[in-house]
Amino acid sequence: LFQRECKFVAGAAAIDQLPPMGPIEVAFAGRSNVGKSSLLNALTGRKALARVSQNPGRTQQLNFFDLHGELVLVDMPGHGYAKVSKKTIHHWQHLIEAYLKGRANLRRLLLLIDSRHGFKESDQELMDLLDQSAMSYQVVMTKADTLKPAELAANQATFQAMIRRRPAAHPEILVTSAETGMGIAELRDALADLAAQ
């Protein structure tokens, strides 16, 4: 699935700009600077599929990338960025909510969290929205290389325990590093499984 070309399909800054529903979609969400662009690039083997951000909070739209008609990866705008206006945040929440609730082919959302920092308030808010919408999500820890193995394992256990307390059941946390490639093969396998279902 990840050996052939991954191509940009569309960017949507408003609900009426969403591309028509095609193959199943998996959305990538996370706070600005969590390492989402780096993970998408590592996953697809493209150096600049998603821009590695110099300006956090700048990715202002949902970006759709097609993996040869079998799976679409959706890069969601980074949330929890303090320096954007209330009006912009409101516009975003509206777009994201409309997308998450209205997209029948959206199979799963991957919620990226920094291995060092865990869940922030904006992550909790997104999880509340997802649980209310009965939307399946999987937590992906990023930048695993920044911690010693014992610290990483301890954080994973803490975050996993938090997920188990959520109202709905969700797949196990994946631990990744775009820097070392840790967990990338597992993430590709998980996505290929979803595409094959």
Which residues contact ligand GDP (rule: CB under 6 A)? Answer: 30, 32-38, 52-53, 56, 78, 142-143, 145-146, 177-179
170: left (phi over 0), alpha (psi -120 to 50) or beta: beta
Residue nearer to ligand GDP on the CB measure, 70 or 88: 88
Burial of residue 105, with CB atoms counted within 10 A of its CB: 0-12 exposed, 13-18 middle, 19 or more buried = exposed
Closer residue to ligand GDP (CB): 23 or 51: 51
Determine phi and psi for 24, rounding to 5 degrees. -65, 150
User: Which strand (E) or helix (H) includes residue 27?
Assistant: strand 25-30
Nearer to ligand GDP, 30 or 174 (CB): 30
Shortest Å distance, C-beta 25 to ligand GDP:
19
Residue 78 CB, nearest approach to ligand GDP (Å):
5
Paired with 25 in beta bridges are 72, 106
* Beta-bridge partners for 18: none
C-beta separation of 100 from 18 below 8 A: no
Q: Is 68 helix (H, G, I), strand (E, B) or coil?
A: coil
- For residue 57, the minimal CB distance to ligand GDP (Å) is 8
**Considering the complex, what minimum distance in angstroms separates the CB of residue 168 from ligand GDP?**
25
Cβ-based nearer residue to ligand GDP, 52 or 154: 52
Of residues 56 and 118, the one with the C-beta less far from ligand GDP: 56
Asked if 162 and 119 count as a contact pair (C-beta separation under 8 A), the reply is yes
Please state the closest distance from residue 136 (CB atom) to ligand GDP, in A: 21
Sheet order of strands, 174-175 included: 6-12, 62-67, 71-75, 25-30, 106-114, 137-142, 174-175
Residue 172: both structure tokens together: 């196990």
Of residues 35 and 95, the one with the C-beta less far from ligand GDP: 35
